[in-house]
Amino acid sequence: MHMQAENKDRKQEIVLGKELSRPLGLLIGMIVLTVVINSILLIKINQLQTTSVQMLSLLRPPHGLEIGEYIPEFTLETIQGERIGSAQFSGKKLLLIFSSPTCRACQIFWPALKDFANRHPQLDILLISLGTREEILRMSNEQKFPFPVLIGNEKVFRDFKVPGTPYLYLISEDQTIRLSGFSERLVEVELQLLEQ
């Protein structure tokens, strides 16, 4: 009798163990499934985040050298054949304008630039233009700029990281970038000059 009771208890334990193992197996399966789904979601979120950052970087406006960065050294010829270099402007404020004779935005900008130069004769200004010598000479003769026009080259445009034209840099006396941007930033250059 005692053996029968023991067998009966064992059968109940086996039945109870089987009954408990099903929910336990389901619970373990659900946990594994949750871990797999969360891992897939994290991977997808990471991919989406990477894609979003790449897309946002495309929306960032192009820019040249960073504020506070030293300007690259350069020496270029004017249309008259005179050699002018960055070292000549050490200790002076300098406005560098990167331009091109065939750039429509530059052509629209030139009259405002000439007016600006006439209002601020104390500021050294150089126009670095990318084009053929003949194009730059024709542009300079037509515009009658009151400052030197230099014949630029791809290297100088690359060294200054010029993203397009007309692009400008206001250079401090220590030859670091104080302000940079496209032609609409000329107003900010003027405000900075007036504050001093």
pLDDT digits (tens, 9 = 90+) for 39-56: 787 777 777 776 666 665
pLDDT of residue 17: 56
State pLDDT tens for residues 109-166: 999 999 999 999 999 999 999 999 999 999 999 999 999 999 999 999 999 999 999 9
pLDDT greater than 60 at residue 5: no
- Least confident span in 58-62, 88-92, 116-120, 161-165: 58-62
Contact 183, 193 (CB under 8 A): no
pLDDT of residue 195: 81
- Least confident span in 32-41, 69-78, 154-163, 169-178: 32-41
Task: Give the percent of the chain with pLDDT over 70.
Answer: 81
Say how far apart CA 40 and CA 75 lie, in whole Å: 57
pLDDT of residue 33: 83
Cα radius of gyration (the chain): 35
pLDDT of residue 8: 60
| pTM for the model | 0.70
CA distances from 180 to 40, 96, 160 (A): 44, 9, 11
pLDDT of residue 12: 58
pLDDT of residue 3: 57
CA distances from 168 to 32, 51, 58, 141, 185 (A): 59, 32, 22, 21, 8
